[in-house]
A and B are shown apart, each in its own frame.
Chain A
Amino acid sequence: GQQLNQSPQSMFIQEGEDVSMNCTSSSIFNTWLWYKQDPGEGPVLLIALYKAGELTSNGRLTAQFGITRKDSFLNISASIPSDVGIYFCAGIQGAQKLVFGQGTRLTINP
């Protein structure tokens, strides 16, 4: 069953604010991935993290692979309207299967 707990489930922010979301698990993961899903579309990969403690940026997005390998964080700085969507974390364990979090729905008020 579902092994990743993603929070918060939803966020309502003002344009220009920074956003933080996280994903935790009781299990260790070898790789963490962050995806974004726009309405009516499939998820698109934003950032991949391969090593514990790794901090990786993609434009205004920054993600970190937790040192315990049981969590990951995604930050979005200076949010803009096109950041609206659902953000998913995903972890990979030894069997190479992706396990997804429940998603964080981001809404931005202009």
Chain B
Amino acid sequence: NAGVTQTPKFQVLKTGQSMTLQCAQDMNHEYMSWYRQDPGMGLRLIHYSVGAGITDQGEVPNGYNVSRSTTEDFPLRLLSAAPSQTSVYFCASRTSLSSYEQYFGPGTRLTVT
């Protein structure tokens, strides 16, 4: 198993540009989520999904969209990037909402200029 994979590893955007951060898992996990990590802030939940076709907002959803058309994939879209979205983004998955063992991807470091 590859576990949780994320692409790209690094990305630089100009303000106003859009892009999609890709996340995939091959463990047949129902629950997937996106976090952003900023210095001194820990990890903050952006959006999550409890299964294909179901998504919900986390703690800091503004400026981000998600969709979950398959169990494996959970892309995160930035429609109009802003410097405040400069961060490291982590995708994570776990077996189900009631499972507490969550696996993280390697992260995407995004810089918005």
Contacts and interface: CB of A to CB of B under 8 A. Distances in A.
A21 to B, nearest CB: 13
Interface residues of A, number: 25
Nearest to A49: B100
B90 A42 contact: yes
B44 interface: yes
Interface string B1-12: 000100000000
A100 B44 contact: yes
A54 to B, nearest CB: 13
A102 interface: yes
A42 B45 contact: no
Interface of B: 4, 35, 40-45, 48, 58-59, 90, 92, 97-98, 100-107
Interface of A: 1-2, 4, 6, 9, 31, 33, 40-45, 48, 50, 88, 90, 92, 96-98, 100-103
The 9 closest A-B pairs by CB, nearest first: A42-B104, A100-B42, A100-B43, A102-B42, A96-B97, A43-B104, A42-B90, A31-B100, A42-B105
